[in-house]
Structure 1
Amino acid sequence: MDAEEAKELVLRFLRLMEGRDLAAATSLMAPNPVIIFPGGKQFASQDEMVAGAQGRYQWIKKTFERLDVCQDGADTVVYVMGTLYGVNRHGVSFADIRYIDRFALRDGPIVRQEVWNDLAESGALERIGE
């Protein structure tokens, strides 16, 4: 898989996740992927990850500012950097929260997804209407 194909696959995956088309997003992942979110939270599937996020926010989306691709042995690795924006569980909007996602692709599908962001540190999830 070349760099452009890897970027396209990851962007398609992220857009499907934003639209909560979990079946289509999962079809882009290998069986038994490794999924790690902030705080070291590990999930066995995208369904499990979405269930774990319920109650944290009403919705959340990403801006894509930069994608970098490199090789790590047999894996093609795509780093996605940008900011998060959305509405927290109290109905308060937030924006400009930094994130980095790392995706490892092996022979096509995503085998590992790691997510880092400043959402908890920003206090955005706990803000109450002003």
Structure 2
Amino acid sequence: MTETQNSEQFKAAALVKQFLKAMENRDLTAAGTMMAKDAKIIFPGGKSFKSQQDMVTAARDRYRWIKKKFEQIDTALLPRDRVVVYVMGTLDGLNNFGVEFSGVRYIDRFEVEDGLIVSQQVWNDLAESGVLGP
């Protein structure tokens, strides 16, 4: 790995962490500046969203708030000067019935190109864990 590759991977991981914190704080304006205009956003069940606002609106049916704990972040270089960033950890939150939950596994996969997120894919155990029910 060259110093340039390492630097690009570091920058991509920092961008993704900043993006996830903005989303957690519901600062959609800041988060939007980190996403490419035509970014692909895919959530569990193959649900696609055109924007972070669309994703937040859909999430209102599932939980009141959610926070991500980062346990591991991995990066790799892809062709065409893209960097893939995997973020793994657990989710804590409050469902729509007022019940708190914690320790729900997740993996987020991002692709970063030219300093912007061009793809976000999300996998988690929210549905399987049963934490979204009463």
Question: Contact (CA 8 Å) 2:34, 2:116: kept in 1 or not?
Answer: yes
1:55 offset after TM fit, Å? Answer: 2.1
1:71 offset after TM fit, Å? Answer: 1.1
SS of 1:12's equivalent in the other structure is helix
SS of 1:55's equivalent in the other structure is coil
The gaps in structure 2 that reach 5 residues or longer are 1-6
From 58, 64, 88, give the equivalent of 1:58.
Answer: 64
The aligned residue for residue 107 of structure 1 is 114
TM-score, normalised on structure 1?
A: 0.95
The alignment's C-alpha RMSD in Å is 0.8
The 10-residue stretch of structure 1 (50-59 or 8-17) with the greater mean CA deviation from structure 2: 50-59
Following the alignment from structure 2 to structure 1, what is the Cα–Cα distance between the partners of residues 101 and 23? Answer: 19
From 41, 45, 48, give the equivalent of 2:47.
Answer: 41
Kindly indicate which of the two structures has a greater share of residues assigned to helix.
2
Name the % identity. 55
How many residue pairs match? The answer is 127
Question: Contact (CA 8 Å) 2:9, 2:77: kept in 1 or not?
Answer: no
Deviations 1:64-123 (A, max 9, x none): 000000012121000000000011101101001000000001111000000000000000
The gaps in structure 1 that reach 5 residues or longer are none
